[in-house]
Chain A
């Protein structure tokens, strides 16, 4: 059912095939070949590609909101970071008594702050199933409350963009506080195990990459299905003519809310997969700049296509890895130029540039 109509959508099919290939070949080459073999992928490459895949998922989630619903959310990174923090909490609890201070229950930073017991919201996070549930529930709930308030009172356009930015900014300030109980400035780190396996080992890294790839593929297929459903068509109509859709009798705010919450959950999952692969989560993930970078991934790839966001996320992040390694000061010039060029010259992104213009296609 998820694969319906893929034959007519060549780009989507090839992106899916490429993703499946990457999530199979890279981990297998890492595990099967010896380090001196030309086919070997180093552990660094594995976690780098795994990271790109989670970024791709984050970018795709923003594309749902921005490309299909017309909401330029400048706070998508907040949901990503929240998912990451939930995963971080689970991983912190897994450390157990192997922390620096050796406390069987309390994570190191709590011992350091001289806390005597676990705050109530940390209970139960030693269970993976609860953490896994919370990874989608926490971002989803925040998106629901925020979106419900915002869409109901018809906050739209740039206003919505600015208050989503304020949301992630406020969260960043909050998570910087030690009193919040999430490790303050340093965040959560020093992870040891995931599901009982050593998080540093090659096999776990390979599995995490595979998990990221599979999640991304599934999310892409499900999102595609949603977009092609009747609901998706209404959402697209809201993007193009909100008033008209409203006058036709649709509850516009409900459709927007649905997409917003769904995208937030995807972003949370991306964050949860990101954290074990980079080994740290801290409040700077909430910074407004991060969310804006996500916007540029989608803009570069071309919005309103789903796979465009994926291609954009991988391309921009690959450029970032190259440039920050080669000449760090160039990176912001590059990013700034990307913002300007894409918006002024390539409103449909790179894929839109190569593809025939959508209007011609219809004719």
Chain B
């Protein structure tokens, strides 16, 4: 095959590579000429001529050829009547937008009546598909080859099987190899003799694909008259064994998926609760407006996106610090304006901050309307990472998991290594002693509250990527985040992390049996019972500071 020899050429020894520039140039001119010759044959009237032209085209080593053949297959190749040249048309409102078939030069738009379609028969279409597949198999991009293999696999016949078998020897990429083996194996299982079928089963055992499972199930099932579809007992036994091993792996995948979903839900819970762990855990202040501070963060994301609609990624990067600042400042204002007067009266603090939460909710509702706003997700965060047919992980949840861990690590470092962290811990342990040591407790209180609130804002940015942004966003998470903090143990960041993740996983583990709502209720009831048993949470604080 010429195409293959070209591949061989390009991958050959140094001497040949050194010769390539001249060789390539000559080849290019020659192939250009062959390209236009084949194209003009294609304009010919008879179907036989067109068939010939297609064969000729396929022999031309030009990247444009695949495009032309594809257009021909899809009926988008036209002869422009005015100047008798082949064009590829794309439907637009006022007719067709035209591109020159050979040079890819844009030719403006034209009406349908100004051109004549190059029609093909079903026979030609079949051979076109094969040719396109073969050309794409020779593409340098492994993804294109994989797509070609999958396209061929949808409708296999003897020719395409031979093509795949030939290609398998040359194929370097593991993913493409695997896809080819899958198609060949499935085919052998259908048509091969006993030895081939057994070999195919052995080959397919390691592939997690819906087709394989369906086919193997077909082997072990009985038909309507109670006879086995597969006559041979040995093959049946092997098929059953293969199915069992595949099923065992599928269970593993299902467990991995549940774990991932659980972790990602846990990440959301941790993000929501971690700011609360600071204000409630370290300062002992119940902040019912915490959810609304998250909502402010989410709306900040929305606004930055409105301000710079062309660069989603950057707007997200700007939204994170912006949300931190906005929610943090709001938090400081709440602390200085209200909470300061209520220290030592936790129940009153709860009520006052609840008032603040209503205020913020209604403010946002008045400014942005009560309707949900949707925040766009950048490309690299949307879609899923498909590991195989049975296991795919969504990118946005994956990034949120990573983001949550980053925020947690950063917060831990702030508390551990910075001056502010030292002062926060000192005030939390013994306010009077800290005051005696010259720590400005009032300022530390404000900054701690600001820090916790800022983290809530950052959590809001993350939330905006997985749910709609609305005035009620915060309310949804407030009960949950309190549960996480209380479950983990007040005043313990690690406890919050462990509690968030374990509640997330527990929720997702229960969901298949109980449904989403009941799972949530069960988890809530569990926490209520748990608090009865251990009122100070999973990791209680010890020492004298607790009593004060």
A residues with a Cβ closer than 8 A to B are 72, 146, 149-150, 152-155, 157-159, 161-163, 165-167, 169-170, 173-174, 176-177, 288-289, 292, 295-296, 299, 329, 332-333, 335-340, 342-344, 347
In the bound complex, what is the Cα–Cα distance between A332 and B360 (angstroms)? 9
Q: Which of B355, B357, B518, B525 contacts A343 (CB 8 A)?
A: B355
Question: Do B358 and A343 touch (CB < 8 A)?
Answer: no
Task: Determine the distance from Cα of A98 to Cα of B535 in the docked complex, in whole angstroms.
Answer: 51
Rounded to whole angstroms, the CA-CA distance of A159 and B532 in the bound complex is 10
Which residues of chain B have a CB within 8 Å of any CB of chain A?
A: 286, 338, 341-342, 346-352, 354-359, 361-363, 365-366, 475, 479, 482-483, 486, 515, 517-518, 520-521, 524-525, 527-529, 531-533, 535
What would 17 A/B residue contacts be, using CB atoms closer than 8 Å?
Answer: A150-B532, A152-B532, A153-B531, A157-B347, A163-B531, A166-B482, A166-B483, A177-B518, A289-B475, A299-B351, A329-B362, A333-B363, A336-B356, A336-B358, A337-B355, A342-B351, A343-B352
List residues of chain B with CB within 8 A of the CB of A288: 479
> Chain A contacts of B361 at CB under 8 A?
332
Contact in complex: A167, B528 (CB < 8 Å): yes
A161 to B483, CA, bound (A): 12
Q: Nearest 6 pairs between A and B by C-beta?
A: A339-B355, A336-B358, A336-B359, A332-B362, A340-B355, A170-B524
Nearest CB of B to A36, in Å: 40
Q: Which of A149, A155, A159, A335 has the most CB of B within 10 A?
A: A159
Residue of B nearest to A154 (CB): B535
Shortest beta-carbon distance, A33 to chain B, in Å? 40
Q: Which residue of A lies closest to B359 (CB)?
A: A336
Do the beta carbons of B528 and A153 come within 8 Å of each other? no
How many Å lie between the Cα of A65 and that of B157 in the bound state? 80
Residues of B within 8 A of A150 (CB): 532
CB pair A173–B362 under 8 Å, yes or no, is no
Give the nearest-CB partner of B478 in chain A: A288
In the bound complex, CA of A337 to CA of B358 (Å): 9
Decide yes or no: A166 and B347 within 8 Å by CB, A333-B359, A333-B362 being known contacts. no
Residues of A within 8 A of B350 (CB): 72, 158, 161
A149–B532 contact, CB under 8 A? yes
Residues of B within 8 Å of A173, CB to CB, are 517, 520-521, 524
Q: Which residue of B lies closest to A162 (CB)?
A: B482
A170-B525, A340-B352 known; 5 new pairs, CB 8 Å cut-off, are: A149-B532, A153-B533, A159-B486, A166-B528, A339-B358
A159 touches B535 (CB 8 A): yes
Residues of B within 8 A of A163 (CB): 486, 527-528, 531
B282 to chain A, nearest CB (A): 15
Task: State whether A166 touches B355 (Cβ < 8 A).
Answer: no
Contact between chains at B351 and A166 (CB < 8 Å): no
Q: How many residue-residue contacts, CB under 8 A, span A and B?
A: 118
What's the dominant secondary structure at chain B's contact region?
helix
Tell me, rounded to whole Å, the shortest Cβ–Cβ distance linking A203 to chain B: 39
Contacts A162-B486, A337-B359, A339-B355: A157 and B346 contacting too (C-beta < 8 A)?
A: yes
Contact B528 A335 (CB under 8 A): no
Q: Given the known A-B contacts A343-B352, A344-B338, are A158 and B517 also in contact in the complex, defined by CB atoms under 8 Å?
A: no
A166 to B357, CA, bound (A): 18
Q: Is A158's CB under 8 angstroms from B347's CB?
A: yes
CA distance A330 to B31 in the complex (A): 76
- Chain B residues closer than 8 Å to A146, beta-carbon distance: 528
Which residue of A has the minimal Cβ distance to B520? A173
A340 to chain B, nearest CB (A): 4
In the bound complex, what is the Cα–Cα distance between A335 and B352 (angstroms)?
11
Bound-complex Cα distance A146 to B532 (A): 10
- B518, closest chain A residue (CB): A177
B356 touches A340 (CB 8 A): yes
Which residues of chain A are near B366, meaning CB under 8 Å?
329
Checking A169, A336, A342 against B357 with a beta-carbon cut-off of 8 angstroms, the contacting residue is: A336
In the bound complex, residues from chain A placing their C-beta under 8 Å from that of B363 are 333
* Separation of A176 and B521 alpha carbons in the complex (Å): 11
A154 CA / B354 CA spacing, docked (Å): 25
Give the contacting residue for B351; candidates A157, A333, A343; CB below 8 A.
Answer: A343
The answer on a CB contact under 8 Å between B531 and A159 is: yes
Chain A positions within 8 Å of B535 at CB level: 153-155, 159
What B residues does A176 contact at CB under 8 A? 517
Contact of A344 among B352, B365, B533 (CB under 8 A): B352
A165 contact set on B, CB distance < 8 A:
479, 482
CB-based nearest B residue for A172 = B521
Chain A: CB-nearest residue to B525: A170
Q: Which residues of B lie under 8 Å from residue A337 when comparing CB positions? A: 355, 359
Q: A150-B532, A158-B350, A343-B348 are in contact. Are A336 and B355 (CB under 8 A)?
A: yes
State whether B362 touches A295 (Cβ < 8 A): no
Shortest Cβ gap from A204 to chain B (Å): 36
In the assembled complex, the CB of A212 is this many whole angstroms from the nearest CB of chain B, namely: 27
CB of A59, distance to nearest CB on chain B (Å): 15
The CA-CA distance from A162 to B482 in the complex, in Å, is: 7
Most chain B CB inside 10 Å of its own CB: which residue of A176, A332, A338, A347: A332
Alpha-carbon distance A332/B362, docked complex (angstroms): 6
How far is the CB of A308 from the nearest CB of chain B, in Å? 15
Decide if B521 touches A174 in the complex (CB within 8 Å).
yes
- How far apart sit A170 and B357, CA to CA, in the bound complex (Å)? 21
A13 to B347, CA, bound (A): 30
Minimum distance in angstroms from A288 CB to a CB of chain B: 7
CA–CA, A292 and B479, complex, Å? 13
**CB neighbours of A159 from chain B (8 A):** 486, 531, 535
B485 nearest in chain A by CB position: A162
A296 to B348, CA, bound (A): 11
CB-CB under 8 A from A347, the residues of chain B are 348
Asked, given contacts A296-B351, A340-B356, whether A166 binds B532 with beta carbons under 8 Å apart, the answer is no
Closest residue of chain A to B362 (Cβ to Cβ) is: A332
In the bound complex, residues from chain A placing their C-beta under 8 Å from that of B348 are 343-344, 347
Most buried by B among A173, A337, A340: A340
- CB-nearest residue of chain A to B346: A158
B517 / chain A contacts, CB cutoff of 8 Å: 173-174, 176-177
Pick from B354, B525, B527, B529 the residue with the most CB of A within 10 Å: B354
Q: How far is the CB of A21 from chain B (nearest CB, A)?
A: 32
CB-defined contacts of A338 to chain B, threshold 8 Å? 355
* Most A C-beta atoms less than 10 A away, residue of B362, B483, B520: B362
Distance A155 CA – B532 CA, assembled complex (angstroms): 7
A295 touches B357 (CB 8 A): no
Residue in chain B with minimal CB distance to A161: B350
Residues of B within 8 A of A292 (CB): 351, 354
A155 to B534, CA, bound (A): 9
Which of B351, B521, B527 lies in contact with A339, CB distance below 8 A? Answer: B351
Chain A residues closer than 8 Å to B533, beta-carbon distance: 153
Could you tell me if A339 and B352 are in contact, using CB atoms closer than 8 angstroms?
Answer: yes
**Chain B residue with Cβ nearest A335:** B358
Across-interface contacts of A332 in B (CB, < 8 A): 358-359, 361-362, 365
Minimum CB–CB distance for B487 against chain A, Å: 11
B529 proximity list for chain A (CB < 8 A): 149
Complex CA gap A296/B350 in Å reads 12
